[in-house]
Amino acid sequence: MGALRLRWRSATAAALAVAVGLAALPALGQGVGSTPAGQVALKGAGATFPAPLYEKWIQTYRLDHPDVAISYDAVGSGEGQRRFLAAGVDFGASDAALTDEQITRAPLGARLVPVTAGIIVLAYNLPGLGGPLRLSRDVLVDIFAGRIRTWNDARIGAANPGLSLPNRHIAVVVRQDSSGTTFAFTNHLSAISDTWRDRGPGAATLIDWRGRAMLARGNEGVAGRIKVSEGSIGYVEYHFAKRLGLPMAMLQNKAGRFIEPGERGGQAALVDNVGQMPSNMRLFLPDPDGPESYPIVTFSWLLLQGRYADPAKASALKKFVAWGLTQGQTVSRDLGYIPLPAEVASLSLAAVDRIN
């Protein structure tokens, strides 16, 4: 692990060289119809998970690149995939990478480009608990399967001696929209529970919770619902829980250790498992190896066409994404995301460079 940690950079000299060979963009939320003459307009849509990061990238990038305007609609991974495959946007964004079958339906081809990573946390609202909540793997599964229904259940108490667990119903908060965050979470549950995988909901971007949960749209919606609902717990991207000051559970990892959510555990998960990255850049880590690894970590992908009919759009988009993969990685840490390992950033830059 030590050698890999030494190579942890969000941009290598080679990556920067590629980025310099690419460069242009701005205008958050500016549509094609309002684009001044001479500007190139790029329209994207998709995941809410990386939306704060993309918004920051756009705001920062446009200051030095007034010749390109970008809009991004945070509508969820599923809708982002749909719009991308229907050629309704110039780029999509998803925390659940396209399948091989979906790629065959992309009219101008598709490239999956990891541009950031993050962790999914279990945020909760339990006033007076008296300390951080710990959730073992089997307890986590059974809470969301509806088999553990009250906070003072003996199985929760076994991992949390000394905490004031209330005798009240567990209110589970989940996504109602098609979501890459839901996929990452349920992919983890499928990896740690044969019952969840084979006889339960399995891993999907949209789950039928059968009336067992409170529904909310987007990561921001889930975090907001937890904030105002005592006795609740839900899965949400780290940035959204941190921004609202929500407490987050320590989760048991593959090595049996309870890991505090944060950059350290997420970084450890990527460093210990990045060597598994395949040539198509579709790497899921539903239950990462490593004693310090936080157990629910995911890459987030941009969905780019294999070729663009408009050369100006192709050039502008390649330059912006290259900037995000190099200079933009410094912004990701500040917002609670995990900068890409150098190996992944270089592979992503090479994939962008091959777009026509």
The CATH code of the domain that includes 313 is 3.40.190.10
Q: Does 81 reside within a domain? A: yes
Give the tens place of pLDDT for each residue, 26-74: 333 443 344 566 799 999 999 999 999 999 999 999 999 999 999 999 9
| Domain of residue 49, residue span | 2-117+298-353
286 belongs to a structural domain: no
Verify that 53 and 64 share a domain, yes or no. Answer: yes
Distance CA 266, CA 287 (A): 12
pLDDT mean over 172-189: 96
For residue 71, is it within any domain?
A: yes
Instruction: Determine if the pTM surpasses 0.75.
Output: yes
Domain end among 222, 256, 271: 271
Number of structural domains the chain divides into: 2
**241-290 pLDDT, tens digit each:** 999 999 999 999 999 999 999 999 999 999 999 899 999 999 999 999 99
Q: Whole-angstrom Cα distance, residue 162 to residue 227?
A: 24
Residues 262, 126 share a domain: yes
Residue 64 lies in a domain: yes
Q: What is the pLDDT of residue 36?
A: 67
Residue 280 lies in a domain: no
302 and 317 fall within a common domain: yes
My answer on whether 112 and 144 are in the same domain is no
**CB atoms < 10 A from the CB of 154, how many?**
8
pLDDT class of 8 with cuts at 50, 70, 90: very low
Torsion, Cα of 207, 212, 215, 219 (10° steps): -70
Q: Evaluate whether 8 touches 343 at the Cβ level (below 8 Å).
A: no
Per residue in 80-90, pLDDT (tens digit) is 999 999 999 99
Q: Is residue 291 part of a domain?
A: no
Q: Give me the helix-helix angle, 311-325 and 51-64, nearest 10°.
A: 110
- Model confidence at 6: pLDDT above 90: no
CA distance 321 to 354: 13
- When the pLDDT of each residue in the chain is averaged and rounded to a whole number, the result is 90
